[in-house]
Amino acid sequence: MKTRQLGQSAVQITPIILGTWQAGKRNWADIDDQEIVAGIRAAVDAGITTIDTAEIYGDGDSERRVAEAIAPQRDQVTLLTKVFANHLHHDQVITACENSLNRLQTDYIDLYQIHWPAGTWNSDLVPIAETMAALNQLKEQGKIRAIGVSNFSLAQLQEAMEHGQIDSIQPPYSLFWRAIEREIQPFCATQQISILAYSSLAQGLLTGKFGPDHQFAAGDHRSHNRLYADPENYQRVQTALGLLKPIATTKNCTLAQLAIAWLIRQPQTNAIVGARNAQQAIANAQAIDIELTAKDLEAIDHIGRTVTDPLDENPLLWNW
């Protein structure tokens, strides 16, 4: 899989990135450790050599599963992880990074990201200058190669950029969730900042596997997804999926592959996609080969807007 430059850094990433939130198990249901490990290895073998994780995913369990999976192939993998909002004081950032390095069994992290802005999730309101000073220190030491942010507004991104080089932003973005197209995406295009889109399949809705009467298992955080929890939104999702199916059929691909193929053709955008097992990981990787014409992209875009245009401007994907 041909790689792309991460922002203005020397780091190279694949357009399709393996997301590993589910590897931490918390807020997910029916996750098997060995299937997760097999899925990570299959993704790498299939060409998805960029892996995204975070310290908060299962209190480090996701990072541990990633380390287990890639131990023989660390030099072939680009590792992305995140420091959570409760660890943004200078010394906390340093400690959190050391802990992630230990769990990932590596001596460097390719991209280290601020997972949520200071003040979110009842965290301290730490000045971004303090957090960035720690990140710049880690970068100078070679412990991290690039700095990114996640779930930041445009104003928060711009403030972070005043204190160091920001090479990426990680927001929720998919055919069915497009808030970043208003301000963040155009800004990133002018500043050469990579967009790492999470929930790129709208947390599974774009797979078409969840029918009109679907109920998520107890403990599955997707039940709080605004596209699922609001009946009107969910009906629009189902109608749109019906319109997308003929296009997927024409392209001889799944709905998920079609959604990934559309997303990685948007400005500055790369798609983070999770996988529970090897089969899903391999299928995700195959999306790179789907050819979409300008007419295809326009048709898919129009269908997606039937879901997103009625949404309000709240950028949060969940009702938490």
Catalytically annotated residues: 57
Report whether 131 contacts 90 (CB < 8 A).
Answer: yes
Residue 54 CA, chain-centre distance (Å), reads 11
Q: How far apart are the first and last CA of the chain?
A: 37
Distances (CA, A) of 103 to 40, 54, 63, 106: 16, 11, 6, 8
**Mind giving me the DSSP string for 177-208?**
B-GGGTTHHHHHHHHT-EEEEBSTTGGGGGGT
**Cα–Cα distance measured from residue 318 to residue 302, given in angstroms and rounded to the nearest whole number:** 24
User: Among 171, 159, 74, which Cα is nearest to 113's?
Assistant: 171
Q: Which residue has the tokens 């590596």?
A: 106
CA torsion 154-160-165-170 (nearest 10°) is -50
SS3 content of the chain, % helix, strand, coil (to 5): 50, 15, 35
**Cα–Cα distance measured from residue 145 to residue 125, given in angstroms and rounded to the nearest whole number:** 26
Contacts of 275 (CB under 8 A, 6+ apart): 18, 39, 40, 42, 43, 281, 284
Q: Which residue has the tokens 């208003």?
A: 182
**φ/ψ (deg, to 5) at 80:** -120, 130
Sort 174 into a burial class: Cβ within 10 Å, 0-12 / 13-18 / 19+. Answer: buried
